[in-house]
Amino acid sequence: MIHKSLVPYLILMLLKFSVLAQEAEKLIINKDYYAMTLRSVLIDLSKSYNLQVDYNQEDVKGYAVFSGHFEMPLGRFMETILTNTALKFKIVENQIQIRNNSVEISLKDKEYAPKADFTLTGLVRDQETGEILPFAQIIVVGTTNGTTSNVDGYFTLFHVPSDTSQLLVGYVGYEKKTLSLTPRLVNNKLVIDLVKGSLQLADVNIVGERKDLMKVSEKISETALTPREIAVLPSLGEKDIFRTFQLLPGISGSNEGSAGLYVRGGTPDQNLILYDGFTVYHVDHLFGMFSTFNSNAVIDVKLFKGGFESRYGGRLSSVMDIVGKDGNENNFNLGADLSFLSFNAFTEFPLGKNITVLFAFRRSFQSALYNKFFENYNSETTTTQFGGNNGNRPFGRRMETAEPVSYFYDINSKISYNPSKKDIISWSIFNGKDVLDNSRENNRSFGGMEMNNSINDLTDWGNLGSSLKWSRKWNQKFYTNTLVSYSNYFSIRDRTSENTRINEDDEYETMKQGTYENNDLQDFAFKTDDQWEINLTHRVEFGLQANYFNIKYNYQRDDTITIQNRDDQASLFAFYLQDNWTPVTRLCIIPGVRVSYYSGTQKPYFEPRLSASYALTERWKLKAAWGEYDQFAQRVIREDIQSGSKDFWMLANDEDVSVSSAEHYIVGFSYETPSYLFDVEAYYKQLNGLTEYTLRYIPQFGSVDYNEFYYTGDGYAQGIEFLVQKKFGNPSGWMGYTLGEVMYNFPVYGDNSFAASHDVTHEFKMVGIYKLKKWTFSMTWIFATGKPYTKPLGGYQIELPDGTVQEYIMVGQKNGSRYPNYHRLDMAVSRNMKFGDMATGAISFSLFNVYNRKNVWYKEFEMVEGQLIETDVNLLGITPNITLSFSLK
């Protein structure tokens, strides 16, 4: 075990001795010299460190270097070995010239022609790990000339005034850095290293600083998160990116049963979730308690709540772009987290000169906490059989109870390869799965008669995705990013039971009953995203995207009745073009268009988009966006009480599931000071072509054409969001309030519109973080008004000819009533620890739903002897959790 872990160290030691020539002055000599002449030392020096040493043989004759171990910078080393000699030296880059004290050194400082009003290219990295930092901000101090680094960390600045200008570089979670340019820096590849600092959640278009305000990226409705830092927030066993986003205004925070995001009245399937470029179709683990994304493997997450650019398409509401970590370029790193719920481990290390590897694994175990979630959210227990008859009462029926087996796991891995200064190739793989197995078997034999009865109760769903990406910065102005990817979402729900018996002819007869459901989605994609920085005023972005979808959905009942059997394929081609246009310095306009062709309907779709932002003053900023969006693969929500994956993905076509579309209108403004941010945004979304599929109108026994039961409708969502954030200092945090409305209109339910099931009118959220030495205290409080539901108005009875009486209910207006208000307080305290110089760690204690409020999840209605009995099924009560974290770096 030990020797295996030494391998990366060995590789590392080998790497230490190869060095960039330009860094000669910083070069640390680490050598042992014993009884060697000066000349042999100089020869060894030039060989070992790739230096050019220029000396006269006559000059160095007769000198020796005293024996010992030398570990010091090159400059000091030269001084040391030339002490007591009549020689002097000069180092310029990778050249050393040694001359007699009386002779002039002819080595000239490398001279660079002075530069003014020039274009500067560079790379932004994490100083410690060497990992690139995407979307960092760089600005020339004293001007409004700035830019952001792209997804590979590269940036280009136009019209830099002089080669001695100062740059201010910032990135969420890192200390801001002021870099003074020098002629040498600007004439060679510029690499800017940033040091990790204390963090706050910040709007990515504004990163404040005590002396200077910096507004560089002008994208509307955009929010960024640093995954590393969400560990301080209260958690339910796993720190989770999606759950943290739910603490922001505009994103619904009262959905405990879904990790997916309800952004501005949209449903989770209307979000485009990209992980290293490939689309992820299902993001829930453990009935929606967490998302499938391991924070330890993610470096950057950006959420576009609406009005997103033409670069992204195929979804109606929002885009979440997740960039996985590349891996530590310099050192081997290992870390692990352990909580009441799961175990999480990751490792990252360099492999060879230009390769880095990252690997992260997470698995749950069936602790008491896991079982608690399971019992609370596994809603299959309470199905009142309404209207059913008394059925058979077989004598001696026996049910064997078994412990269900349930777990989830996910694996993230990424290999990045830098073949040259201009290219980056990376391969990312992601696999996650949830398994819920409650199957049991029952063998009985009575007086010679064998009976075998096995009941399957298996829910199995997950994702497998992979992308291979090549990005290249061709020159200062042109950058391309090409990608091929594969994404697979699978979901199996097996609730069949098999009965085997010997019939009168002494033959085995097997009868299969129950439901079996299988949804399998495959998405093959090719994408290219290109940037062309024409000049300071125009940066043009364009790209091509091609997808091939293969979606199967099979829903069987009782082994013979096929309710749905779909096997659809379709292709989607898209081209987009947009221009980041700054006609005057304070105004940025991004017009764009996305054109798609979808083979399922054989039609083209035009999606024009426009966004703009204007900096009124240094503190005030106005922004607006408008766009049209289409969605071709839909997640149809199936109305069924069985738990597990209750929905399935389908391709739109001309017949039953239509291509859905949306139009966004967003306006907003923000006011920012060094410490505070105040942000307001109002939105209106028109939605068309929404699909609902329901089994409830179909008799359980019948051979009706089930394809008839897709219903189409439209709706709108509108609202206004307020955010007040204290970005720095102690305590820090934010408060958000959203006023919103989502109304649907489905003709099958009537002429009138009804509130969508996820409609929340008022939502208020508060997050506070307080640091005290090694301790961090955090709290979150969420308040949301209740969601709508359909209430029963009354009941009636029908007596069947055989004398049995059945009771039924009559429902009221669809979604006409509201659940009681939802509110919840979570708190956490964590303590950082250091294990000497070896490693760091933390222990945190979290309490979810501190005052144990019984928030209603849904209601169950039962009519017993003419009276309605209403039972509340509640969400999670007070839940504690402890997490231990550990990492080498």
- Pick the binder of other proteins from 696, 773, 836, 838 (CB under 8 A): 696
Q: What is the rounded CA–CA span in Å between residue 323 and residue 518?
A: 30
Residue 754 Cβ vs other proteins, minimum distance, rounded to whole Å: 8
* Window of 214-222, 530-538, 592-600, 791-799 that interacts with other proteins by CB under 8 A: 791-799
Tokens 């910078």 correspond to what residue? Answer: 73
Residue 810 Cβ vs other proteins, minimum distance, rounded to whole Å: 5
Question: Going residue by residue from 430 to 449, which x/- string records binding to other proteins, judged by CB under 8 A?
Answer: ----------------xxxx
Q: Is 101 or 752 the residue whose CB approaches other proteins more closely?
A: 752
- Chain centroid to CA 508: 52
SS (H, E, C) 387-421: CCCCCCCCCCCCCCCCCCEEEEEEEEEEEEECCCC
Q: Is 448 or 836 the residue whose CB approaches other proteins more closely?
A: 448
Contact 811, 792 (CB under 8 A): yes
Q: Is 177 or 493 the residue whose CB approaches other proteins more closely?
A: 493
Q: Is 548 or 746 the residue whose CB approaches other proteins more closely?
A: 746
The residue type found at 682 is: A
Q: Is 699 or 836 the residue whose CB approaches other proteins more closely?
A: 699
Provide DSSP, 25-72: GGPEEEEEE-SEEHHHHHHHHHHHHT-EEE--HHHHTT-EE--EEEEE
Per the structure block, which two tokens stand in for 36?
A: 């060697």
- Pick the binder of other proteins from 703, 730, 852, 874 (CB under 8 A): 703
Which residues neighbour 631 within 8 Å (Cβ) at sequence distance 6 or greater? 270, 314, 315, 316, 652, 659, 660, 661, 662
Which residues neighbour 454 within 8 Å (Cβ) at sequence distance 6 or greater? 439, 440, 441, 442, 497, 498
- Pick the binder of other proteins from 279, 791, 825, 830 (CB under 8 A): 791
Q: Is 386 or 835 the residue whose CB approaches other proteins more closely?
A: 386
Q: Is 697 or 851 the residue whose CB approaches other proteins more closely?
A: 697
- Pick the binder of other proteins from 442, 806, 821, 840 (CB under 8 A): 806
- Chain centroid to CA 135: 15
Binding to other proteins in span 722-751, by CB under 8 A: 748-751
Q: What is the rounded CA–CA span in Å between residue 99 and residue 716?
A: 81
Closest CA to 830 of 886, 889, 766, 778: 778
> At 792, is the secondary structure helix, strand, or coil?
strand
Q: Is 374 or 407 the residue whose CB approaches other proteins more closely?
A: 374
Binding to other proteins in span 809-838, by CB under 8 A: 809-815
Closest CA to 461 of 648, 634, 633, 321: 648
Q: What is the DSSP letter of 430?
A: E
* Window of 191-199, 236-244, 472-480, 804-812 that interacts with other proteins by CB under 8 A: 804-812
Q: Is 869 or 884 the residue whose CB approaches other proteins more closely?
A: 869
Give the count of beta carbons closer than 10 Å to the beta carbon of residue 358. Answer: 25
Residue 379 Cβ vs other proteins, minimum distance, rounded to whole Å: 7
Binding to other proteins in span 212-271, by CB under 8 A: none
- 801 lies in the binding site for other proteins (CB under 8 A): yes
Q: Is 67 or 707 the residue whose CB approaches other proteins more closely?
A: 707
Residue 408 Cβ vs other proteins, minimum distance, rounded to whole Å: 22
Tokens 């405990």 correspond to what residue? Answer: 256
Binding to other proteins in span 297-356, by CB under 8 A: none
Residue 289 Cβ vs other proteins, minimum distance, rounded to whole Å: 17
Question: Going residue by residue from 746 to 775, which x/- string records binding to other proteins, judged by CB under 8 A?
Answer: --xxxxx-x--x------------------
Q: What is the rounded CA–CA span in Å between residue 640 and residue 380?
A: 10
- Pick the binder of other proteins from 84, 106, 503, 602 (CB under 8 A): 503
Number of residues this chain uses to bind other proteins (CB under 8 A): 78
> At 376, is the secondary structure helix, strand, or coil?
helix
Q: What is the rounded CA–CA span in Å between residue 93 and residue 109?
A: 9
Q: What is the rounded CA–CA span in Å between residue 459 and residue 227?
A: 30
Q: Is 562 or 797 the residue whose CB approaches other proteins more closely?
A: 797
Residue 647 Cβ vs other proteins, minimum distance, rounded to whole Å: 11
Contact 541, 528 (CB under 8 A): no
Q: Is 102 or 381 the residue whose CB approaches other proteins more closely?
A: 381
Closest CA to 659 of 686, 638, 689: 689
Q: Phi and psi (nearest 5°) for 344?
A: -140, 125
Binding to other proteins in span 376-395, by CB under 8 A: 379, 382-395
Residue 869 Cβ vs other proteins, minimum distance, rounded to whole Å: 10
- Pick the binder of other proteins from 3, 507, 700, 838 (CB under 8 A): 700
Q: Is 460 or 860 the residue whose CB approaches other proteins more closely?
A: 860
Binding to other proteins in span 622-651, by CB under 8 A: 639-641, 646
- Pick the binder of other proteins from 508, 606, 796, 835 (CB under 8 A): 796
Q: What is the DSSP letter of 269?
A: G
Closest CA to 227 of 165, 160, 294: 294
Binding to other proteins in span 509-568, by CB under 8 A: none
Q: Is 30 or 813 the residue whose CB approaches other proteins more closely?
A: 813
Strand boundaries in 503-642, DSSP class E: 508-533, 538-557, 561-581, 587-598, 603-615, 620-631, 633-639
* Window of 212-220, 242-250, 692-700, 722-730 that interacts with other proteins by CB under 8 A: 692-700
- Pick the binder of other proteins from 798, 878, 882, 884 (CB under 8 A): 798
Q: Is 423 or 807 the residue whose CB approaches other proteins more closely?
A: 807
* Window of 20-28, 48-56, 266-274, 807-815 that interacts with other proteins by CB under 8 A: 807-815
Q: What is the rounded CA–CA span in Å between residue 672 and residue 198?
A: 20
Bridge partner residues of 606 (DSSP): 595
Residue 554 Cβ vs other proteins, minimum distance, rounded to whole Å: 21
Binding to other proteins in span 841-880, by CB under 8 A: 857-862, 865-868, 873
- 797 lies in the binding site for other proteins (CB under 8 A): yes
Residue 798 Cβ vs other proteins, minimum distance, rounded to whole Å: 5
Residue 716 Cβ vs other proteins, minimum distance, rounded to whole Å: 17
